[in-house]
Amino acid sequence: MDTRPIRKIFIKTLLLLCCLVLSPAAWSQQLENSLRRTNLAPEILRAMIPEKQQTIMNALADFATQYKASPNSVKKYLLRQKRQKFLAENLKDLVFSDWIGRVQTLHTTENGKAYLLLELAILPPENTEQNLPIPEFRVTMGTWNNAYTDLDYKTLILPGTPLHTWLANFNEGEWLIFSGKSFVGNEDYLKEASPSETDAMLSPQFILKFELLDKLDIPEEELQIVKSSTTPETAVTKETDNSKQLPAVKNKSSNIKKSKNSSVFLRPELTIRYYQEYRLSNYDWDYQKYIERWHQLVRYYWGNHPASDYLNGSNPEGGEVFVLATVGRDGLVSNYQVSSLGEVSDKMREAALEATRLVALPPLPEQFPDDVLKVEFRFAHSRIQHLIKADVDQMKAVLMLQDNKTDAGNNIVTRMGQKLIRKQRLKQARVSFLEELRQEFSSHFNPHQRFDPSLELQIELGISRSGKVVEQNLTLAGKSVKFQLAVLNGLNQARFDTLPEVLRSESPYRVRLRVIP
């Protein structure tokens, strides 16, 4: 008897069963990976979450852990009563202002009313001795999901209102900032929608009427996670071994020291070059007269013949162009090399090269010690701030809110509009102030010796309301004491006006300063 057809059917059946069994797992893993991609680092969330939110989340997690470990129903009942009292004491007004959550559900009813459910962040404890939350623990806040249960609460977001239109800007899995007001509940102080006591304690679902939703903006080019560690291996890369020998540097106005506490901060980062306009392969000669004439002519020509596409605003983000010229003893340039960083076009590179090579040079002085002199000119194209594309979503939102006013939504319109405008002003003030810091610090750096291009110095600064540097924390010293001292001497000469008014609430305003040759 030929058994091959039976064998084929058996194999196909096995393959089909494998697909049925493994497909849910594969889809589940895919969904998990997708959600993980939307996650923010715990360090970022911890830095941004309001203290009140974190306090309440920690308490809810603790109540959930105790509830699960409770041996009988009486103790569980008493724990719920205790949690009710805690929430009543800490949320007397039932108001949640600028809390942070992630969109878990964003759907509409048959009539187009939107219902929204946000999952609040659960951060791992900073102290390793603290217990992790139980696996079942989670906290959600949102509207009712149907018109019947929502009759007395009016939490569903109606079509035609500004908030409903604004919801089109969000996706499931996205982190956002929200504000709203809850309702008094009989058993949990806050109105809670879980079907059982166990669910209410382990994974509560609090009902909220949303008043404000906003994007959680963390621009990568401006904000960095700064890690300060007790071990030099994390603070310093290839320069670790030598950095231990660096002396502590202090001045009258502030202390500069290496951080001893392991912590993570959210800081605006500002990178500044020590060499602002040119650097030489050798400084051990009387170079000022020779180089200054060349430098002045180069700058004069470049200033009068700028790249047309940068001038007309086609590349408003700006960037840096470097032209390296190799000069023989006879004054003839044997080679030019052009490199760049940032949004730099071919025309911007060509303009810098033309400015450098159109200058005729005299022979090098007899006392010059080398066969050739290498000079690298730096051409910095600043950001043209008013031409940089603004946050389209935010600006559209302001216009949308102005165009979608309704009698029922005027309050929300005003609050959301003011919030978005204030956010734009804050963002612009930060950018402008960082540029002011860059120009002031840079003006006090003058090249007088050659430093290795791989060097790097990192300092965390705190600037008071009056513009005085009140905190200096040297987080990465590098291997060169001379470079460290040269940079710090320049920084100590910097002087600033008072902080912009919108930044004064953040005083001392902290910045991570990164200085490279």
Which CATH number goes with the domain that contains 383?
Answer: 3.30.1150
**Whole-number Å distance between alpha carbons of 108 and 115:** 6
pLDDT band (50, 70, 90) for residue 51: confident
346 is in which domain, residue-wise?
Answer: 275-389
Decide if 15 is inside a domain: no
Q: Which of 170, 196, 215 delimits the end of a domain?
A: 215
Number of folded domains in the chain? 3
Residues 6+ positions from 445 with CB-CB distance below 8 Å = 272, 273, 274, 275, 276, 486, 487, 490
- 112: alpha, beta or left? (left if phi > 0; alpha if psi -120 to 50): left
Of residues 224 and 271, more confidently modeled:
271
Residues 6+ positions from 182 with CB-CB distance below 8 Å = 91, 94, 95, 96, 141, 190, 191, 206, 207, 208, 209
- Contact by Cβ (8 Å): 244, 489: no
Q: What is the mean pLDDT of residues 205-224?
A: 72
Of residues 383 and 490, more confidently modeled:
490
Q: What is the mean pLDDT of residues 462-474?
A: 87
Of residues 225 and 131, more confidently modeled:
131
Decide if 364 is inside a domain: yes
Six token digits for residue 114 = 């939107």
pLDDT band (50, 70, 90) for residue 352: very high
pLDDT band (50, 70, 90) for residue 132: confident
Same domain, 475 and 499: yes
Q: To the nearest whole number, what is the mean pLDDT of the chain?
A: 78
Helix (H) or strand (E) holding 125: none
**Whole-number Å distance between alpha carbons of 189 and 304:** 70
For 157-191, the pLDDT digits (tens) are 999 888 888 888 888 988 888 999 999 999 999 99
For 228-276, the pLDDT digits (tens) are 333 333 333 333 333 333 333 444 344 444 333 333 346 788 888 888 8
Of residues 7 and 482, more confidently modeled:
482
Decide if 20 is inside a domain: no
Same domain, 247 and 307: no
3-state secondary structure of 307: coil
Same domain, 54 and 182: yes
- Nearest CA-CA partner of 142 in 196, 92, 178: 178
**Whole-number Å distance between alpha carbons of 144 and 207:** 7
Helix (H) or strand (E) holding 97: strand 95-108
Can you name the residues that pair with 184 across neighbouring β-strands? 190
Six token digits for residue 325 = 């010229």
- Nearest CA-CA partner of 327 in 297, 284, 282, 286: 282
Q: What is the mean pLDDT of residues 36-54?
A: 71
- Whether residue 162 has a cis bond before it, omega within 30° of 0: no
Q: Which of 215, 234, 258 delimits the end of a domain?
A: 215
Res 465 pLDDT > 80: yes
Same domain, 303 and 163: no
Res 410 pLDDT > 70: no
- Contact by Cβ (8 Å): 463, 497: no
Decide if 420 is inside a domain: no
Looking at the whole model, is its pTM more than 0.85?
Answer: no
Same domain, 99 and 197: yes
Same domain, 96 and 179: yes
Decide if 130 is inside a domain: yes
Torsion of CA 10, 14, 16, 18, to 10 degrees: 180
**Whole-number Å distance between alpha carbons of 48 and 5:** 64
Confidence (pLDDT) at 30: 35
Same domain, 463 and 504: yes
Same domain, 167 and 50: yes
Decide if 353 is inside a domain: yes
Same domain, 457 and 517: yes
Q: Which of 174, 191, 215 delimits the end of a domain?
A: 215
Same domain, 108 and 202: yes
Decide if 303 is inside a domain: yes
For 112-128, the pLDDT digits (tens) are 999 999 999 887 666 65
Res 216 pLDDT > 90: no
Confidence (pLDDT) at 195: 92
Res 501 pLDDT > 60: yes
pLDDT band (50, 70, 90) for residue 355: very high
Same domain, 178 and 70: yes
- Nearest CA-CA partner of 161 in 419, 404, 415: 404
Confidence (pLDDT) at 255: 44
Decide if 377 is inside a domain: yes
Confidence (pLDDT) at 25: 42
Same domain, 139 and 222: no
